[in-house]
């Protein structure tokens, strides 16, 4: 069952999310000596990352991945990596074991190919585990219900399970060219933490927790391994079934 927490304001959401992320990372480190965390861009996670830098120690045993990236250089103001570096990575007392950056500057096709190869090499992919399993993926959600760079009704939602990272050439949000983890990788994760604040996200959260549909990519996440943290403005209008 999906775990949903509603808090008073965006600051409370960020604080709760930082604690939730740190708890999952510590658990993975205790179990295997290493944790794999994927970050997303967008406005909502930024404050969470700032607080996570203070909340979490032991980053030298964490490998950082990305859920998606815009096809821009890493120093570009629209780069998800740049945002994560400024709010989290550059603030850490000890650097992560590895930071696996999506190379958006290579373009969507080559960037996606290389990232899929890196996922496969680092996290394994065999008959028993056909899709690499990240311990935790942090996701925002758009007003249209998109997560990562998986948009409503897009062909990327129908990618075969074995495709790990996908090229996006026609994003409805600029820039049009992007790289994204596939839905199968999001669904294979140990847990996804979905963050939303503001009234513009309320309909998307309600739809994400309703009947799964390709028109709302967030609704296709695995409910049993999904934690949703929202503020009062983004909370579902009606009680969940």
Domains of the chain, residue spans: 3-212+227-234
Tens digit of each residue's pLDDT (9 = 90 or more) over 28-53? 999 999 999 999 998 889 999 999 99
Q: What topology does CATH give the domain 3-212+227-234?
A: Rossmann fold (3.40.50)
What is the pTM for the complete model shown? Answer: 0.95
| pLDDT > 70 fraction of the chain, expressed in percent and rounded | 96
C-alpha triplet 31, 139, 204: angle, nearest 5°: 135
pLDDT band at residue 91, thresholds of 50, 70 and 90? very high
Q: How far apart are CA 51 and CA 164, in angstroms?
A: 30
Highest mean pLDDT among 55-59, 120-124, 236-240: 55-59
pLDDT at 241: 47
The predicted structure's pLDDT at residue 164: 96
Per-residue pLDDT tens over the stretch 183-207: 999 999 999 999 999 999 999 999 9
What pLDDT, on the 0 to 100 scale, is given for residue 133?
94
Say which residues have a Cβ less than 8 Å from residue 65's Cβ, sequence separation at least 6.
Answer: 36, 37, 38, 39, 100, 119, 134
Are 51 and 83 spatial neighbours (Cβ–Cβ below 8 Å)? no
Q: What is the residue whose two structure tokens read 């199968």?
A: 184
Distance, CA of 98 to CA of 146 (rounded, Å): 28
Q: How far is Cα 149 from Cα 178, in angstroms, rounded to an integer?
A: 7
Model confidence over 119-160: pLDDT tens digits?
A: 999 997 555 667 999 999 999 999 999 999 999 999 999 999
Confidence of residue 27 (pLDDT cuts 50, 70, 90): very high
């Amino acid at each position: 069952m999906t775990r949903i927490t509603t808090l008073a304001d965006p600051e409370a959401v960020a604080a709760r999310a930082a604690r939730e992320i740190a708890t999952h990372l510590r658990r993975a480190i205790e179990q295997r000596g290493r944790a794999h965390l994927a970050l997303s861009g967008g406005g909502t996670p930024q404050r969470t990352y700032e607080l996570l830098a203070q909340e979490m120690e032991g980053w030298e045993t964490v490998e950082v991945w990305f859920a998606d990236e815009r096809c821009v250089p890493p120093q570009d103001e629209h780069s998800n990596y740049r945002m994560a570096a400024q709010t989290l990575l550059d603030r850490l007392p000890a650097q992560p074991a590895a930071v696996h950056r999506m190379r958006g500057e290579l373009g969507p096709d080559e960037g996606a190919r290389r990232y899929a190869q890196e996922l496969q090499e680092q996290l394994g992919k065999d008959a028993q585990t056909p899709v690499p399993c990240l311990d935790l993926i942090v996701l925002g959600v758009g007003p249209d219900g998109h997560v990562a760079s998986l948009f409503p009704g897009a062909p990327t939602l129908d990618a075969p399970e074995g495709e790990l990272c996908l090229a996006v050439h026609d994003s409805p949000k600029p820039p049009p060219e992007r790289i994204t983890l596939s839905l199968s990788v999001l669904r294979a994760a140990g847990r996804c933490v979905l963050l939303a604040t503001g009234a513009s996200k309320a309909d998307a959260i309600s739809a994400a927790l309703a009947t799964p549909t390709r028109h709302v990519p967030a609704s296709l996440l695995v409910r049993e391994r999904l934690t949703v943290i929202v503020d009062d403005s983004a909370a579902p209008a009606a009680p969940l079934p």
